[in-house]
A and B are shown apart, each in its own frame.
Chain A
Amino acid sequence: MRLRSEAGFTLIELMVAVGIAIFLTMAAVAFARHETKLMGISTDRLEMQQSARAALDMLADDIGQAGAGVGYGNASGNFGLVTDPLPGKDSFAGVRIDNFCVESVDGVGTRVCFNQDGTPIAYPGAADPGFAGTDLSLQTSDINTGAPRIATPYTLRTVDIGILSATGSYSTVADFAFGAVQTGQYCNDGDISFRDGELALIRNDVGDAARAILVQAPTAAACSYGQCLGGCTSFTVGTPPAIFYQNDASADSANFVAGELHGGLHATVWFVDDSDPSYDAGIGVLRRAWFDDARGCAARDSTCGDEVMPYVDTLQATIWEWDQSTQTWVNSGQEMVRDRTGQRHRLRVDLELVVRAKADSRTPRDALQLRLAPLCVPNFGSCPASKVDFTERQAYRTSIEVKNSGYMAVQ
């Protein structure tokens, strides 16, 4: 019988082959992990950019509507409409940054104050640098050396932004009568309508008297004076909690006939909530809260409003007013309220949102440099000396021109 060939691999051959196979498999796995991680960083980065731009656009839209329908200060320094000022805390009738309180008319009249927690935010874990409220100091490091990139840390302020506007239906006041039960009429122009219980602003034709009201029981009716082409709607006046929207004193006896009625009166508040313990110190969630006759919130925390964007370092805002005489921008302080000089002012709000990626604070370029360190591929610049735990941030900015506040005629 003929023997079968039994030539096989020797032990050495087998070990070498297995060793090479293991090496190649490990290299392939490492390559795949590397690619997957790089793709994850890229995805996180892209998500962060899109979220930041979307958040800024939404905030810009809100600020662009600031003061619409709300009114402005009168000769005595009052405003057409103000929110309840706490001692030492200003009210606002357009945009307000920093400290303020807002209250919803939800039957409870819950008041929420912003930037009132008094808890300083410091990064990176250092003591509060001594700025007021929630200011923070930010220091970035060089990727290659770990050394500070700037000699003096930036002084940043995480501010809360309150925006007051009436951007619902708008109509002419056809009639208004004071009395035990105050009543009024507004003109039916097109698809104008106010719902029962809607929080609205009514003001006289020259704009120096205004008050917040609840439009109740709107009913189609003949116009008292017949001046509205589309007919009229009668309503009774309900008074919202006085603590919320305070009326100008002159509004108690003003003649509102031929004035304006603005619906959809609301306050929108943007803030960075840093109460989530799962976040690093100094990092929070950008939230947007809405206050009107139906919505509000009970506290300035993670239950207030809707989450807009996670992993936010800080939100900065500054209000500028164009000085025509000096041809320069002047910081108009923390509040945007127009005076009654009759000039069309140019107002600008600058925003800066500082964010970082969810999974990795490194930019793709930085991550690439680090990962290419062992390879030192030409044309990619110098390889980093060591892997440092740096804290790169990405800042997104926008400038908004605000045109709504105080456009009415001069008295």
Chain B
Amino acid sequence: MPNVPPTLRMMNKPASPRRGFSILEAIVASAILGIGLIGLVRLHSASMHGLVRAQDTNAASEVARQIAERFSTLPPTAPELANCLPPPASPSGCRASYGTSGVLNPVKGGADCTRWVDGAAVTDVSSGNAGWPLPAATFGDGTPCPDNAVNCPGAYRVDISVGPHPDAANHPPPARLVNIWVCWRDPGGLVNELSTVRMIPGDL
């Protein structure tokens, strides 16, 4: 075709391959990307959950330690130790069941054997001399959390029971054994619990 202009020759030439992605390819690529993103978000969420859980556990451990240290200094005749004898049928600990709908045990009998405390709050140590070193917890509006509250956000429920030392031969009365349980709900609603034990020697 010698008389045909070059531009027309190009137009007549078969079109260059401009094939795009098929719908199937796009769907597969999107699915892979989506799975990756979902995994990343879940990983991020899990890591933050773990961070909060570790922080709460650490704080609960501090709560248990501080209360245990205070009770360790009590003489065996202190009234605080006589108030928290658990009745035989009373369940131990503060957690009744574990899970997203975990529940707490009923309030222990005796005076001041169960309390919601605020682990991070600042107190004035010169203002009181009770056996509890931690301030009572409150709801966001400042209302005190009752002992039998189902939950007190950001606070820890502490249960205490005092009993005779099981090794009475080596630790005869008035030696006592103090059990301290600390429970809290994590952001997902799970009830967590940790405990510690302290012995109070019988001699003054």
Q: What is A's interface to B at a CB cutoff of 8 Å?
A: 3, 5-7, 31, 35, 38, 42, 45, 49, 53, 138, 140, 142, 144, 149-151, 154-157, 316-318, 320, 322, 324, 327-331, 344, 346, 348, 350-352, 354, 363-365, 368, 372, 377, 379-381, 392-401
Q: In the complex, given contacts A344-B204, A350-B125, what are 10 additional A-B residue pairs having Cβ atoms less than 8 angstroms apart? A: A6-B16, A49-B58, A144-B140, A154-B122, A156-B122, A354-B122, A395-B121, A397-B69, A399-B66, A399-B69
Query: A399 touching B124 by the CB < 8 A rule?
Result: no
Determine whether the beta carbon of B123 is less than 8 Å from that of A150.
no
The answer to whether A393 touches B122, judged by C-beta atoms less than 8 angstroms apart, is yes
- Complex CA gap A322/B125 in Å reads 16
* Contact yes or no, A364 B122, CB < 8 A: no
Q: In chain B, residues 42-97, which have Cβ atoms closer than 8 Å to a Cβ of chain A?
A: 44-45, 47-48, 51-52, 55-56, 58, 62, 66, 69-70, 72-73, 75, 77-79
B55 touches A154 (CB 8 A): no
Q: Which of chain B's residues has its CB closest to A144's CB?
A: B140
User: A5 touching B17 by the CB < 8 A rule?
Assistant: yes
Whole-angstrom distance from the CB of B155 to the nearest CB of chain A?
A: 12
Chain A residues within an 8 Å CB radius of B172: none
Listed A/B pairs (15) with beta-carbon separation below 8 Å: A45-B55, A49-B58, A53-B62, A329-B129, A346-B73, A350-B125, A352-B123, A354-B122, A365-B55, A365-B187, A379-B187, A381-B153, A381-B187, A393-B120, A396-B66
Could you tell me which B residues sit within 8 Å of A by CB distance? 13, 16-18, 40, 44-45, 47-48, 51-52, 55-56, 58, 62, 66, 69-70, 72-73, 75, 77-79, 120-127, 129, 133-134, 140, 142, 153-154, 187-189, 204
How long is the Cα–Cα vector from A35 to B51 in the complex, in angstroms?
Answer: 11
Q: Name the residue on B nearest A3 (C-beta).
A: B13
Question: Would A400 and B188 be within 8 Å (CB), given that A49-B58, A154-B124, A377-B45 are in contact?
Answer: no
* Bound CA span A35–B153, Å: 26
Q: Is A364 in contact with B52, judged by CB distance below 8 angstroms? A: yes
Main secondary structure of the interface of A (DSSP, over half): mixed
| Best-surrounded residue of A35, A365, A381 (most CB of chain B within 10 A) | A365
Say how far B121's CB is from chain A's closest CB, in angstroms. Answer: 7
* CB nearest neighbor in A for B70: A399
B125 in complex: contacting residue of A3, A344, A352, A379, CB < 8 Å: A352
- On chain A, the residues within 8 Å of B189 by CB distance are 379
Residue of A nearest to B100 (CB): A379
By a CB distance below 8 angstroms, the chain B residues around A381 are 153, 187
A399 x B133 contact (CB < 8 A):
yes
Q: Say yes or no: B17 contacts A155, CB within 8 Å.
A: no
Please state if B18 and A7 are interface contacts (CB–CB under 8 Å): yes
Nearest CB of B to A261, in Å: 29
Q: Is the CB of A397 within 8 A of B73?
A: no
Q: Which of A53, A346, A394 contacts B204 (CB 8 A)?
A: A346
A401 and B73 contact, Cβ closer than 8 Å, known pairs A7-B17, A31-B44: yes
Report chain B residues within 8 Å CB of A350. 70, 125, 133
Q: How far is the CA of A395 from the CA of B133 in the complex (A)?
A: 11
Contact B187 A318 (CB under 8 A): no
Contact B140 A399 (CB under 8 A): no
Nearest A-chain residue to B45, judged by Cβ: A377
* A348 lies within 8 A of B73 (CB): yes
Q: Give the CA-CA distance A392 to B187 in the complex, in Å.
A: 19
Closest to A319 in B: B126
Cα A401 to Cα B201 with chains together (Å)? 13
A364 vs B48: C-alpha distance in the bound complex, in angstroms? 9
Q: Are A365 and B56 in contact (CB under 8 A)?
A: yes
A351 & B125 in contact (Cβ 8 Å cutoff): yes
- Give the docked Cα–Cα distance between A327 and B16 (Å): 99
User: Nearest Cβ distance between residue A331 and chain B, in whole angstroms?
Assistant: 7
Cβ–Cβ < 8 Å partners of B204 in chain A: 344, 346
State whether B55 touches A318 (Cβ < 8 A). no
Q: Which residue of A lies closest to B77 (CB)?
A: A327
- In the complex, what distance in Å separates the CA atom of A330 from the CA atom of B128? 10
B122-A379 in contact (CB<8A): no
| Structural contact, A327 and B79, CB atoms closer than 8 A | yes
- Rounded to whole angstroms, the CA-CA distance of A344 and B47 in the bound complex is 53
With A42-B51, A150-B142, A151-B142 as known contacts, state yes or no: A395 contacts B122, CB within 8 Å. Answer: yes
Contact of A365 among B52, B62, B70, B127 (CB under 8 A): B52
